[in-house]
Chain A
Amino acid sequence: MASADFTARAAGPSGPGAGLRYRRTRRSTGEQVIKVLLAVAAVLSVVTTTGIVISLLNETISFFGEVGFAEFFFGTDWNPLRRGAQQSFGVLPLIWSTVYLTLIGLLIAIPLGLASAIYLSEYASPRVRRLVKPTLEVLAGIPTIVLGYFALTYVTPVVLRDLLGVEVRIFNGLSAGIVLGILVLPTIASVAEDALSAVPQSLREGAFGLGATQRQVVLRVVFPAALSGIVAALVLGASRAIGETVVILIAAGADPNLTLDLGVSHQTMAAFIAQTARGDISQGGTEFQTIFAVGTTLFVITLLVNAVAIRLVRRFRQVYD
């Protein structure tokens, strides 16, 4: 027998202790191949990401060779595509509109999303849940271009002007913000519902067993126990809203404005990039590099939001066995 040979040659133990050592077999070769393939996949994704970041930074550094840091980050006038004295590179209006419209969206999506998550997880009958949960997930899959035109052709003229009688321009931040809320609502509701449903039934029983009402069980036990997942849901929603491009581009127009007024046009960072990248600007010029500078800024902001999110999620994470 081969194994007996092997152990004998290696002067290993005989008897019951024999045959425990590593042997080179077809199985171990297969394991090696799989290990290498998986490692290649992992390296590839890291390399791709790094490549994207480097190309972003490259153009961004060139941009800052032309335009001062202070002018970019503290300037309140954004007119990079004009010529001569009217050209200005203050990015604040873009950052402001990005944050502002995201907040408007979250203002709508968070209460509605959490309320529907709580309803589905704690109050709805299994039949209603079976019906509504997939509907929510379908809603999350509506192409944003459809939502963009919904904002422009329905929300602005019908809902805002006719129904509510709000004075708004045809391109305005309000309808974009509202539709941004509709856009992230299913994401928040669905992820938060998953988090609530994952809370062990034994905790609910424990609370009911102490004479708590349904409302007390939800608010004092289930919701806090699911906090980590709920924070994750909110951040996921916020990230989507910050990066959303098409809805803003269509509904909020292309006029950067540093203002609290939602009735006028707003331009966000992502919308600016999309708007400008399709226009006829020459590659290599400062105008062209502007895209990358704004892209890097957007990237850093999203990165910060995610970093904060990860910390929050860790902090509230509760492991149930």
Chain B
Amino acid sequence: MTEPSEARHSDGRNEEWAREAADVSTPAAVIAEPAGRETIFDVDNVSVYYSDKRAVRDVRIKLARNEITALIGPSGCGKSTFIRCLNRMNDLIPTARVTGAIGYHGQDLYASDVDPVQVRKRIGMVFQKPNPFPKSIYDNIAFGPRVMGVKGDMDEIVETALRRGALWDEVKDRLKTNAFGMSGGQQQRLCIARSLATSPDVLLMDEPCSALDPISTGRIEDLMMELKEDYSIVIVTHNMQQAARVSDMTAFFTVELDGDTGHRTGAVVEYDQTDKIFQNPSDKRTEDYVTGKVG
């Protein structure tokens, strides 16, 4: 990621801000209870380690059903690391270790008898860079249902998924062509449609628009607004306008810099209604970030 924010990490202003961030207030104070809404993820005191280095610490947030939750913050603040805990993608990294508990509809995702494969069938994921398989458009969509052993009319499943992904009209005449021939924006919508084909409960999106042009981004944002009727969505984004436009709740992550080792750890500073985060944040650091003073 070569964003301006990354390059600015070394300047004095940012260092000072990172030191200040080292005394993140107790995360308990920033938990926003989704009052009257059904909790889908209950994240309790989650930390993630790579080998012995802690990448994110003490995340405690509750995510509500049929809402879009945005995770924002500067580079290296652990947003992507955190979102990958929600469908146990971090299991694929041999050195990664997760502590704390993540409740999913009351079930502990990290309980020893939970099968990560089953978790990922319910909790779909869309990645930063579009990653279609080198197969036809049809086979890309059908992949999930096929590995799940879904019996039924595959043509219908594919059409439904592509319609939900707002892609059907563009590709209905070339379903058998290779997905690599699509534009970047189409590929990303294909990846979204591919996730929807398995009828997940939650959709995790890790910076889904960062490789796309503004028009494709707009289409995906429209799509997200439609999808939240049926799905719960968690999105990591670097684009604060995007978070403000689409999300209901926003969690602001920050980087804590260990003065001795120079090691960076991410933590949640504030978690609240998106409107409040952007218009009237409680924490000075959130305000500085959303108004563009730092980061």
Query: Which A residues are within 8 Å of any B CB, using their own CB?
Result: 125-126, 200, 202-213, 216, 220-221, 224-225, 318-320
Contact = CB atoms under 8 A, between A and B. Distances in A.
Interface centre among B121, B122, B147, B195 (most CB of A within 10 A): B147
23 contacts: A202-B129, A203-B133, A203-B134, A204-B92, A205-B89, A205-B125, A205-B131, A206-B132, A208-B89, A209-B89, A209-B120, A209-B125, A209-B127, A209-B195, A210-B120, A210-B121, A210-B124, A211-B147, A212-B117, A216-B147, A221-B133, A221-B143, A318-B134
Contacts of B180: 318-319
Interface residues on B, range: 20 to 34
Given A209-B87, A210-B198, A212-B147, A202 B133 contact: no
Contacts of A320: 134
A200 B134 CA distance: 11
A317 to B, nearest CB: 10
A230 B35 CA distance: 56
A315 to B, nearest CB: 12
B145 to A, nearest CB: 9
Interface string B113-131: 0000110111011010101
A208 B92 contact: yes
Contacts of B125: 205, 209
B195 A210 contact: yes
Interface centre among B87, B120, B180 (most CB of A within 10 A): B120
A207 B134 contact: no
B94 interface: yes
Contacts of A319: 180
A204 B146 CA distance: 16
A210 B94 contact: no
Interface centre among B87, B89, B117, B127 (most CB of A within 10 A): B117
Contacts of A220: 143, 146-147
A14 B247 CA distance: 58
A225 B140 CA distance: 13
A206 B126 CA distance: 8
B194 interface: yes
B25 to A, nearest CB: 34
Interface in B40-79: none
B285 to A, nearest CB: 32
B144 A210 contact: yes
Nearest to A318: B134
B198 A206 contact: no
B191 interface: yes
A213 B94 contact: no
A129 B83 CA distance: 30
B28 interface: no
Nearest to B116: A208
Nearest to B180: A318
A211 B127 contact: no
Contacts of B127: 202, 205-206, 209
Nearest to A210: B144
Contacts of A210: 120-121, 124, 143-144, 147, 194-195, 198
